[in-house]
Amino acid sequence: MNLKQLSQLLGLSQTTVSRALNGYPEVNAETRRRVLEAVRETGYRPNRAAQRLATGRAGSIGLVMPTADGIYSDVHFGEFLAGLGDEAVKHDFHFVINPSHPDDEAATCRKLVASGNVDAIFLAYMREKDPRIPMLKSLKTPFVVHGRTIGVPTDYPFLDIDNTGAFYDAARLLAQLGHRHFALINGPDHLAFAMRRKKGAKRALAEHGLTLPEECIYHARMTDEQGFQAMERFLRLDTPPTAILCSSTVLALGAVRAINQAGLKLGQDISLIAHDDVLPMLRPENFSVPLTTTRSSLRAAGQRIAQRLIAGILNLEVLPQQELWKTDLIVRASTGPAPAGKPA
Amino acid sequence: MNLKQLSQLLGLSQTTVSRALNGYPEVNAETRRRVLEAVRETGYRPNRAAQRLATGRAGSIGLVMPTADGIYSDVHFGEFLAGLGDEAVKHDFHFVINPSHPDDEAATCRKLVASGNVDAIFLAYMREKDPRIPMLKSLKTPFVVHGRTIGVPTDYPFLDIDNTGAFYDAARLLAQLGHRHFALINGPDHLAFAMRRKKGAKRALAEHGLTLPEECIYHARMTDEQGFQAMERFLRLDTPPTAILCSSTVLALGAVRAINQAGLKLGQDISLIAHDDVLPMLRPENFSVPLTTTRSSLRAAGQRIAQRLIAGILNLEVLPQQELWKTDLIVRASTGPAPAGKPA
DNA sequence: GGCCAAATTCAAAGCGCTTTGGATTTTCTT
DNA sequence: AAGAAAATCCAAAGCGCTTTGAATTTGGCC
């Protein structure tokens, strides 16, 4: 069943049927009703390829998935993708997922746009002065950034969470609990979100006359094993930190393991706050000692970005171009007052 | 730059250029060379939408992603997807990722096919007598199954790993090490791979005169927390198992945590073998006690399936329609001889 | 040189949809 | 009730590619 057949069935022209379907105003209400009904009865579905050809829209959004042989596939990415998918499927949009070595993202992204296969680009894993921003601005392809760059004007569409604020809040809470020795297990140091989190933590500490020494900062991919190694290293320091900030519950997983292994009690000997992306497979309340977290749903972010991307392509309502989401600080058992007099 | 312009530039007809590009035999070698060169110089790229419309091929493969609000987004799925993507991008193929509640997969799958947006379907999370198999066979859409059903003839294209064999091997090794009390932390009980793994384990045990009692079998989503809960439950039994089989390193993560928390030593008091999908974020050799595993790369499976799917669509070489991959048993430190005389 | 087959090349007809530029009909004005 | 403005609807022209059916060249052979 195609448009032609459908229009013949209705005794209308293809033009009118097409317009009725696409919500154009110049079609009689009654006519539109008939068309819609016929669609329901016949199960007609427009051919997407023909639509794409006729409109010049690809009907798909492109994303670069940082992954390569031997390189991690990020859990966080999967969760975000689920959100994107939720929304995209509602509008019959496709994805073009272009795997790329993390270091080639800019080039891959350019190729993806040049392929003409996508009419919008989703950008993530932002770096300082990320070259992809000026590149995409110079092209006409719409895009939305998940996160923000650092060091360049943020005059582009983005959705980010308040990373600085989140880690400021977390660090302040721990400082108020009397902790004096902090450590941060963070994401890769070239990524903007990690920089902001560090900044937020440092700011809160500074307000309490505290610092975050270099040896108490660990940057790495956000995996369990990295969390473990980071924590092990911290515990070997002369004055091990009693307050840990952690950029992901995945990192926290490893960190907690190291803490247990060292025979320390989480929430007593040592406190930890992790950022929680609301990964359904790893819930902070299910840790052996439930984790205090700063929370913001990655999946919700994915949904929202898809919404904006698609609205932009289809010229639907105009959505805000820049959004900064606050995070929730949720206190559970992994945070407690600083242990008393430290054994010098 | 489109075909028309390109052909004018070359003083050829669109027909000839198109044929030259698509490898048809009836075009002069010299002409083809000229065409290819012009393509290189002009950077011409065929419009995919037009190709799709003309050929009737969608140029994309569809997959149903089991995920819904509150439902897990499976790490394993992400890793597999990375493999699919690796391969798909080489052939300029898209994905249509259709999120679906796990219980609606069949319906979602049917809709996906009916949408005409995909020219092949990838199927996973097979169940016993899975209804999607007959459904897809009745439609003409090509598909490849990751895994196999149970209870119906396997006369469809699939790629599976030898789950039975993997868990047979693992269980046998532990039995040979003198273990007498086994437990299995498995995937969801309605999924075929989990059934096969259980069967493999039971078979090996039977050969040693051993059994796997019901209370020593735990079926659940493969998350860290489930692994933890399973292990905790096992440790509370009157005669706790000393040999654990685990369907994923993610489950093992939680299980190991529970073991440590109980003050037991992995590889001494208790032995554990996990199936390793080669998730880059969770490597068995990096566990505090490196894990003995049965190994098979999920990403490689993704690549291979994409290869077969695409070859099928494009009528390239004929690839085998059924593949069963053996797994590697890799012994590390988490397995050791059964502890001596158990304290009764 | 003439004739047939093989090798090349081409013109044109779609694929199924959107959209432009008019027609045609209906509804207001005055 | 006539003329103008709205409201509806339509025919036809693409969008850029593939593919059919035919035309044109070239090559081989007697």
Q: Is residue A339 part of a domain?
A: no
State how far the Cα of A255 lies from the Cα of A252, in Å rounded to an integer: 5
CB of B302 within 8 A of CB of B282? no
Q: How far is CA A314 from the centre of its chain?
A: 23
> What domain range includes position B96?
60-161+299-327
Distance from the Cα of A46 to chain B's closest Cα (Å) equals 9
Closest residue to C9 (CA to C1') is B16
Provide the Cα torsion B110, B111, B115, B117; round to 10°: -70
Burial B72-104 (b: 16+ CB within 10 A, else e): bbbbbbbbbbbbbbbbbbeebbbbbbbbbebee
As for how many domains chain B has, the answer is 3
Closest residue to C26 (CA to C1') is A28
pLDDT digits (tens, 9 = 90+) for B104-153: 888 888 888 877 778 899 999 999 999 999 999 988 888 999 999 999 99
Distance measured from the CA of protein residue B322 to the C1' of nucleotide D11, in angstroms: 53
Distance measured from the CA of protein residue A308 to the C1' of nucleotide C17, in angstroms: 25
* H-type alpha helices, A243-297: 249-261
Q: Which of residues 83-122 of A touch B (CB under 8 A)?
A: 85-86, 88-89, 92, 94-99, 114-117
State how far the Cα of A160 lies from the Cα of A144, in Å rounded to an integer: 10
State how far the Cα of A169 lies from the Cα of A274, in Å rounded to an integer: 12
Helices and strands per DSSP (H, E), number in chain A: 12, 12
Q: What is the mean pLDDT of chain A?
A: 90
B82: nearest CB among A67, A279, A280: A67
Q: Are residues B268 and B171 in the same domain?
A: yes
Q: Is residue B175 part of a domain?
A: yes
Question: Which residues in chain A are closer than 8 Å to B99, comparing Cβ atoms?
Answer: 82, 85-86, 89
Distance measured from the CA of protein residue A27 to the C1' of nucleotide C13, in angstroms: 32
Alpha carbon separation from A209 to A138, A176, A314, B186 (Å, rounded): 45, 12, 52, 51
Q: Are residues B272 and B207 in the same domain?
A: yes
Beta strand pairing call for A60-66 and A120-123: parallel
The rounded radius of gyration (Å) of the Cα atoms in chain B is 25
* H-type alpha helices, B125-162: 132-138
Question: Which residues in chain A are closer than 8 Å to B48, comparing Cβ atoms?
Answer: 58, 115-117
pLDDT digits (tens, 9 = 90+) for A258-276: 998 899 999 999 999 999 9
Q: Is residue B307 part of a domain?
A: yes
CATH of the domain at B202: 3.40.50.2300
CATH of the domain at B31: 1.10.260.40
Distance measured from the CA of protein residue B336 to the C1' of nucleotide D11, in angstroms: 82
Q: E strands along A5-112, which residues?
A: 60-66, 94-100
Interchain CB distance below 8 Å, A49 and B70: no
* Predicted pLDDT at B317: 65
The maximal CA–CA distance of chain A, rounded, in angstroms, is 91
* Predicted pLDDT at B312: 85
The reply to whether B79 touches chain A by the CB within 8 Å rule is yes
Share of chain B above pLDDT 70, in %: 96
Angle, vertex CA A128, rays to CA A308 and CA A185, nearest 5: 95
Residue B21 vs residue A223, higher pLDDT: B21
Beta strand pairing call for B322-325 and B158-161: parallel
Question: What residue of B is the nearest CA neighbor of A299?
Answer: B69
Q: Are residues B268 and B190 in the same domain?
A: yes
Q: Are residues B42 and B141 in the same domain?
A: no
State how far the Cα of A268 lies from the Cα of A289, in Å rounded to an integer: 11
State how far the Cα of A113 lies from the Cα of A117, in Å rounded to an integer: 7
Share of chain B above pLDDT 90, in %: 65
Q: Are residues B224 and B126 in the same domain?
A: no
Q: Is residue A153 part of a domain?
A: yes
pLDDT of B71 > 60? The answer is: no
The reply to whether B45 touches chain A by the CB within 8 Å rule is yes
Q: What is the pLDDT averaged over residues A220-237?
A: 92
- From the Cβ of B23, is strand C under 7 Å away? no
Interchain CB distance below 8 Å, B94 and A99: no
B67: nearest CB among A72, A82, A224: A82
**Residue for token digits 């932009």?**
A312
State how far the Cα of B336 lies from the Cα of B292, in Å rounded to an integer: 10
CB of A175 within 8 A of CB of A249? no
Q: Please state the length of chain B.
A: 344
Strand C proximal residues, A:5-44, Cβ < 7 Å: 14-15, 18-19, 21-22, 44
pLDDT digits (tens, 9 = 90+) for B200-210: 999 999 999 99
pLDDT of A68 > 70? The answer is: no
Distance from the Cα of B343 to chain A's closest Cα (Å) equals 25
- From the Cβ of A326, is strand C under 7 Å away? no
Q: Are residues A126 and A137 in the same domain?
A: yes
- Between A and B, how many residue pairs show a Cβ–Cβ distance under 8 A? 162
Residues B253, B259, B263, B269, CA torsion sign: negative
Q: How far is CA A17 from the centre of its chain?
A: 40
CB of B187 within 8 A of CB of B233? no
For residue B49, give both structure tokens: 């939408």
* Predicted pLDDT at B316: 66
Q: Are residues B24 and B39 in the same domain?
A: yes
Interchain CB distance below 8 Å, A224 and B282: yes
Helices and strands per DSSP (H, E), number in chain B: 12, 12
A85: nearest CB among B99, B114, B281: B99
pLDDT of B72 > 80? The answer is: no
**Residue for token digits 């970005």?**
A305
Q: What are phi and psi of A307, to 5 degrees?
A: -55, -45
Q: Is residue B54 part of a domain?
A: no
Q: Is residue A333 part of a domain?
A: no
For residue B209, give both structure tokens: 């005169």
Of A165, A161, A170, which is closest to residue A124 (Cα–Cα)?
A161
Q: Is residue B337 part of a domain?
A: no
Beta strand pairing call for B60-66 and A271-276: unpaired
Q: Are residues B304 and B238 in the same domain?
A: no
Stated as kind and residue range, the H or E segment containing B85 is: helix B75-90
* Predicted pLDDT at B253: 86
CB of B118 within 8 A of CB of B82? no
For residue A247, give both structure tokens: 């950029």
Residue B7 CB partners (closer than 8 Å, separation 6+): B13, B14, B16, B17
Say which range, A297-301, B187-191, B283-287, has the weakest mean pLDDT. Answer: B283-287
* Predicted pLDDT at B341: 64
Residue B166 CB partners (closer than 8 Å, separation 6+): B197, B200, B275, B294, B296, B327, B329
Q: Are residues A220 and A146 in the same domain?
A: no
Q: Are residues A120 and A20 in the same domain?
A: no
For residue A72, give both structure tokens: 């991690």
Q: Is residue B55 part of a domain?
A: no
Mutate to test the interface with A, among B97, B100, B278 (most CBs of A within 10 A): B97
Q: Are residues A283 and A196 in the same domain?
A: yes
Q: Are residues A304 and A157 in the same domain?
A: yes
pLDDT digits (tens, 9 = 90+) for B326-340: 999 999 999 999 998
Q: What is the pLDDT averaged over residues A123-140?
A: 91
Interchain CB distance below 8 Å, A72 and B45: no
pLDDT digits (tens, 9 = 90+) for A140-195: 888 999 999 999 999 999 999 999 999 999 999 999 999 999 999 999 999 999 99
State how far the Cα of A234 lies from the Cα of A217, in Å rounded to an integer: 9
Confidence of residue B319 (pLDDT cuts 50, 70, 90): confident
A219: helix, coil or strand?
strand
* Predicted pLDDT at A341: 65
Residues A73, A293, A244, A324, CA torsion sign: positive
Distance measured from the CA of protein residue B295 to the C1' of nucleotide C1, in angstroms: 75
